[in-house]
Amino acid sequence: SHLRTVASPLDPLLETLSFFTTNEDLVTRIRDLYDRIDLDESGTVDISELNAGFRRMSMRAPISLSIEDYELITEHGRYTDNGDEMSPEAFESMIMAQLRRFARRKLMDAMQKAQEHEQMSFDQLFAMKMILSTVDHLQMALEGGHRGSCAHANLRSNVVFKCFTLQVDDYFAEW
């Protein structure tokens, strides 16, 4: 059975950003990108500035965001202010979230190919996928967005420890 992963309109950009070497390098690339997109230097960007900035960049495929695309990538206002604009920090958070989704799509594609060709790498790819899932779970718990078993811990270290150990045990039990 073929699993199809849904692409994002930002995939050409995300593919370019995926060649970062360190976290600092990635943050620098995202900040440079923001500076190139904030054409009016107002300190915020909206959908029209994003589209204008993307048109000026050379990527393997052009990027043009529809209003629906913008709503999806900004998670229906999570990364925007009341004027539907993103600050540099919100833009960075949005790009990081999109990169995590991009990584998952690429991982799913690789898993499908590995399974179809009965390669040993399927197990390693699955393990990487579970690690990403655990990291997301930890991030949600630290941000206060998780309402599950980790929400009752008071100290951040307890949150991290409980979430990590609970998730890893669950994943290995399932696997």
Q: Can you tell me which residue has the tokens 């923001």? A: 34
Cα 34 to Cα 44: distance, rounded to the nearest angstrom: 9
- pLDDT tens, the chain, 175 aa long: 444 456 899 999 999 998 888 888 999 999 999 999 999 999 999 999 999 999 999 888 999 999 999 999 999 999 999 999 999 999 999 999 999 899 888 888 888 887 887 665 766 776 777 687 678 768 767 876 544 434 443 444 454 455 555 555 554 554 4
Question: Could you give the dihedral angle defined by the CA atoms of residues 156, 157, 160 and 164, in that order, rounded to the nearest 10 degrees?
Answer: -160
19 to 15, 58, 129, 138, 147: CA distances (angstroms)? 7, 16, 19, 25, 34
pLDDT for 93 equals 94
- Three-state secondary-structure class, residue 86: strand
